[in-house]
Amino acid sequence: MLLATAALAVPATAQATLTIGSNLGRAPEGIMSSFGCSPPCTLSQDTLSADRQAPGGLVSPVNGTITRWRIGAAGASSPTSLRVIRPLGGGLFTGAATSATVTPALNTTSAFATQLPIKVGDSIGINCCQPFAEYFLLSGGTMREWQPVLADGGPGRASAGPGDPHELVLNADIEPTTGFAINLVKAGKGGKLTVVATYPNPGTLTGGDARDKRVATAAGGKKQQLFLTSTSRKVQVPGQTISILMKPTKLARTLLARKGRLKAKAEVVFTPTGGSPSAQVLRVKLKR
């Protein structure tokens, strides 16, 4: 029985992010490590020493949105865009998204805002380097190359790499997707409440009374009366559908024994790994 009479999504006020790619711990080298391709090509990091990787690794561990990317340049740069690169299996890849084209500043690390969707298992790369650019080090890892550039949504293509040792001095920040879809809200016997929802990323799920840890107006000065106990579960994989069981408090059981039914507000909070929480509040009727 579906009992939710209203569901209110509460977005986080400040999003947390995780970073993939290089940790930018080393400045790119000069002409001896430069790279050029005509026409422009797509380049991405295939392998990289662990001590040079950003905290999130080389491929996205979450579904989300790239909000900012950074690239280091030495004494040469060229028109460059960030790419999201998606593996299709069998050694084939396609483009998944492309940022606006920019020309990074010389002898520094440049940062650019963007909004690019990214999925679990995707990697980042760039379209560049005509005539050539100095975004690289001749050590630390290997790169993949596609020429001409990968088309977004295009047919799968094998890369020309991995090739000679190179580090691409590039990383990107990802905001994990937090929004979740509630599939079922069911009131069971004895005041129990089950909520079934599908979650976009691994993380932590918490459910309980929406008034938990909140205080009434100063005039009353009393703690809110709670009808549901708090409980938590782990979401293990992206796209997992999982249920959470909230049990009634002693007060709720007492009131249910007298009234038979009881109006309550339940709150479900999902916090993705590396991200900010998202909540939905449900108006429900508990039953004896």
For 83, residues 6+ apart whose C-beta sits below 8 A from its C-beta are: 42, 44, 95, 96, 97, 98, 99, 124, 125, 126, 127, 149, 150
Task: Determine which of 12-21, 101-110, 159-168 has the lowest per-residue pLDDT on average.
Answer: 12-21
Q: Is residue 272 part of a domain?
A: yes
Tell me, yes or no, whether 9 lies in a domain. Answer: no
The answer to whether residue 5 is domain-embedded is no
Instruction: Among 143, 176, 209, give the residue marking a domain's end.
Output: 176
Same domain, 166 and 204: no
| Same-domain pairing of 42 and 125 | yes
The confidence score (pLDDT) of residue 11 equals: 41
pLDDT, position 274: 85
Domain that holds residue 138: 18-176
Tell me: do 112 and 148 sit in the same domain. Answer: yes
| 10 assigned to some structural domain | no
- Tell me the two tokens of residue 136: 């690289």
Please give the pLDDT value at position 212: 80
Q: Work out the pLDDT band at 223, boundaries 50, 70, 90.
A: low
Please give the tally of structural domains in the chain. Answer: 2
Q: Where among 176, 211, 239 does a domain terminate?
A: 176
Is the same domain home to 165 and 40? yes
Same structural domain, 228 and 127: no
Whether 66 maps to a domain, the answer reads yes
Average pLDDT over residues 182-202: 96
Q: Is residue 13 one of the residues assigned to a domain?
A: no
Q: Are residues 189 and 69 in the same domain?
A: no
Q: Are residues 39 and 69 in the same domain?
A: yes
CATH number at residue 218: 2.60.40.10
Average pLDDT, integer, range 74-103: 97
191: which residues sit within 8 A by CB, 6+ positions away?
Answer: 227, 247, 248, 252, 253, 256, 262, 286, 287, 288
**What is residue 1's predicted lDDT score, i.e. its pLDDT?**
37
For 33-54, write each residue's pLDDT tens digit.
Answer: 999 999 999 999 999 999 999 9
Do residues 113 and 67 make contact, with C-beta atoms less than 8 angstroms apart? Answer: yes
Residue 118 belongs to some domain of the structure? yes
Asked if 157 and 191 sit in the same domain, the reply is: no
Residues 236 and 113 in one domain: no
Whole-prediction pTM: 0.85
| Residue 1 lies inside a defined structural domain of this protein | no
pLDDT in the model for residue 16: 84
Pair 171, 205 in one domain: no
Whether residues 113 and 243 fall in one domain: no
Together in a domain, 31 and 149: yes
Single residue among 114, 147, 176 that ends a domain in this structure: 176
- The one-character DSSP state at 35 is B
Q: What is the mean pLDDT of residues 57-76?
A: 97
pLDDT score of 214 more than 60: no
